[in-house]
Each structure stands twice: as structure tokens, then as C-alpha cells.
């Protein structure tokens, strides 16, 4: 390692250590004001409006996006634009979260006054405990006095990291108190890898008229017609009560390939007690089961053992789960 590389790594470690220490101090500093902020956000029947200027504005946008994606309707308002008409986006049912390291950002003046005038809950996140923002806020979340990570102690680094982490803490606390589930999370993340990871078997399976089913006594000539028509490479064998008791796959056909195959019954060819999954199982987990057992199809059954769908490995591949 050259001296230049070593120096660069030392600087990076110093920055990360400084910011990590600040987060530890922030965690220890949380108390009643944080709980009061959560209560205020929960009481708001409208949306959470997040605002900030400069670097604080960039952090505010991310906090708003995190809130919105975790079940708390939210949007960002630029404080300067708020003074030129965008205040009309803020209603009396909303709550406002305003970010300013100093607490004296001039552009926040109108939105602070607007919140005071119409009794809109205002959560201030600032390092200035005696600042205009802190004193005007319904609840002030004051950041600990911790040095910025730059050598001049000027560039917003530690302060913005604490703001961002505090925003995450607000969002996740609200998420857990609302009982927000993975299924709810997927509702707001239908695209991308995250959405694919949260797909359920029920989202991809073939059900209803597409289910390939046959009775145990059905001759294989009929079962083959069912398998061909449904094009899933298998047929589920159900008893008179509609419970899945077996499966006939392409592999079963090859194992019984002989002259009288078509005259055999489904019960004579099927693999009994096939592996099944509930429709609520994550599709990625179902794909893992198929890979582990070297099979290409899985029947989804309800609590009574009745088949409600069939998932094929190709469905998972088309959904981008592989």
C-alpha cells in the first residue's frame, strides 16, 4: 500500500468514525421529544410535508421518500417555492417536518409562520436548540453538538448524517407502530429487485380454469390430455373431496414409459404426497424449494389441502427471481 493510498484510507476512516460516533450520541440523546414527534405525526390525518433548504433539502427529500414508501403519505416542499404559492399544498390535516442545521434558514420563515397561523403540527430538526425553528416548532428534535467530519468543521457531513438517520428512525418507528407488513411494503415497491423479492406464490401461480387436475381413477390417456391442454408439464391428482393426493409429471411419464401406459390409472403413475406450498409463501422461497428438490412445479394448496394454484419454475424465471 502506497503512502497516498494509506493517507486516503485514513481520512475516510476518520470521516466514518466521526459520523458513527455522532450517531451513537444521537441515539443516546433521544427522549420525550422524539416520542412527542411520533405522536404528532400519527395524529395527522393528512400527509407529512418535509421541507429544508440546501443540503438539508436533499436530506428532506430522502426522508419524505422513505416515509411514503413505508406507509406514511408524504411529499417534499421546497421552502422558497412555498413562499410563492406552494404553501397551498399544505393543509390543516397535515404535519410538517422542517430541517435546518442552524435553525435560522431564512427561506423557512414563511412555512414556519404558516404552520403557526393554522395550527399545523411542526416538527423541527435542528442543531440550534435556541433557534427560531426550535422555538417555533410544536416539537423540536435537537441534534447533539458534534463536529462536522471535514477538517474545517464547515461542510455539512456529520449534521446531515444525523438528520438522515433521525428521519429513518421516525419512519421506521411509524412503520412498526402501524404494523406495516412485507405485503404492504410490496404494494409501494412493485418494480425493481425489491418488488420481485416480495412476490408471493399467489402472484405468479396458475389457478382457476388453468389448474391441471384429474381423478385417481382417470386413465392416463385423459391425464395426458389435461397435461397437454394446460401446458404446465404436470397434473394434480385429487381425491373425491378435492384434496391433492398426488402429481403426475413428465418425469413420471418417462419412468412408466411402456406399451400399456395409456391404460394405467393416474393413481398407478402419480407420485404420492407431493411437495406443496401455501399461496402466501414468497415466490423466491418456492423457487428455492424447486431448486433443492430438482422439480419444476409446485402446487399451492389451502388449509384444507385443496389445490388453488400451480407454480412453474418458468414463472419464477419470467418474474426475474433467478
Residues that constitute the known binding site for Zn(2+): 78
206 - beta bridge partners?
A: 310
What gap in Å lies between CA 252 and CA 246, rounded to an integer?
A: 11
DSSP state letter for 308 = E
**Coil, helix or strand at residue 219:** strand
C-alpha cell recorded at residue 116: 403557526
How many angstroms separate the CA atoms of 302 and 304, rounded?
5
Environment class of residue 152 by beta-carbon count within 10 Å: exposed (0-12), middle (13-18) or buried (19+)? Answer: exposed
- Which runs of consecutive H residues, i.e. helices, occur in 248-306? 250-255, 266-269, 283-293
- By DSSP bridging, strand 244-249 and strand 271-272 are antiparallel
C-alpha cell at 235: 397434473
Alpha helices per DSSP H over the chain? 3-29, 32-43, 55-69, 79-82, 109-117, 132-136, 158-178, 182-187, 192-197, 201-204, 220-230, 250-255, 266-269, 283-293, 313-318
The residue to which cell 422513505 is assigned: 66
Amino acid at each position: 500500500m502506497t503512502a497516498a493510498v494509506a493517507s486516503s484510507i485514513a481520512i475516510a476512516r476518520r470521516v466514518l468514525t466521526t459520523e458513527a460516533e455522532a450517531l451513537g450520541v444521537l441515539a443516546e440523546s433521544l427522549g420525550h421529544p422524539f416520542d412527542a414527534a411520533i405522536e404528532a405525526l400519527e395524529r395527522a390525518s393528512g400527509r407529512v410535508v418535509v421541507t429544508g433548504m440546501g443540503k438539508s433539502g436533499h436530506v428532506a427529500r430522502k426522508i419524505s421518500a422513505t416515509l411514503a414508501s413505508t406507509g406514511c403519505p408524504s411529499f417534499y416542499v421546497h421552502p422558497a417555492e412555498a413562499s410563492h404559492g406552494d404553501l397551498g399544498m399544505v393543509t390543516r390535516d397535515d404535519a410538517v417536518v422542517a430541517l435546518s442545521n442552524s435553525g435560522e434558514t431564512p427561506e423557512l420563515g414563511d412555512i414556519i409562520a404558516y404552520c403557526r397561523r393554522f395550527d399545523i403540527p411542526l416538527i423541527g430538526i435542528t442543531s440550534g436548540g435556541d433557534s427560531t425553528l426550535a422555538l417555533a416548532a410544536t416539537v423540536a428534535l435537537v441534534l447533539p453538538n458534534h463536529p462536522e467530519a471535514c477538517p474545517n468543521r464547515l461542510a455539512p457531513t456529520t449534521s446531515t448524517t444525523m438528520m438522515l438517520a433521525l428521519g429513518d428512525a421516525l419512519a421506521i418507528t411509524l412503520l412498526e407502530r402501524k404494523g406495516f407488513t412485507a405485503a404492504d411494503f410490496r404494494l409501494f415497491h412493485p418494480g425493481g429487485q425489491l418488488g420481485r423479492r416480495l412476490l408471493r406464490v399467489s402472484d405468479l401461480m396458475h389457478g382457476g380454469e388453468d389448474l391441471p387436475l384429474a381423478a385417481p381413477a382417470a386413465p392416463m390417456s385423459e391425464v395426458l390430455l389435461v397435461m397437454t391442454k394446460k401446458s404446465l408439464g404436470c397434473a394434480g391428482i385429487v381425491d373425491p373431496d378435492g384434496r391433492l393426493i398426488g402429481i403426475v409429471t413428465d418425469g413420471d411419464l418417462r419412468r412408466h414409459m411402456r406399451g400399456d401406459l395409456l391404460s394405467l390409472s393416474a393413481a398407478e403413475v402419480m407420485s404420492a404426497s407431493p411437495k406443496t406450498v401455501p399461496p402466501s409463501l414468497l415466490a423466491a422461497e418456492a423457487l428455492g424449494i424447486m431448486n433443492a428438490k430438482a422439480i419444476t412445479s409446485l402446487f399451492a394448496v389451502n388449509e384444507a389441502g385443496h389445490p388453488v394454484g400451480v407454480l412453474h419454475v418458468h414463472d419464477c424465471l419470467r418474474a426475474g427471481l433467478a
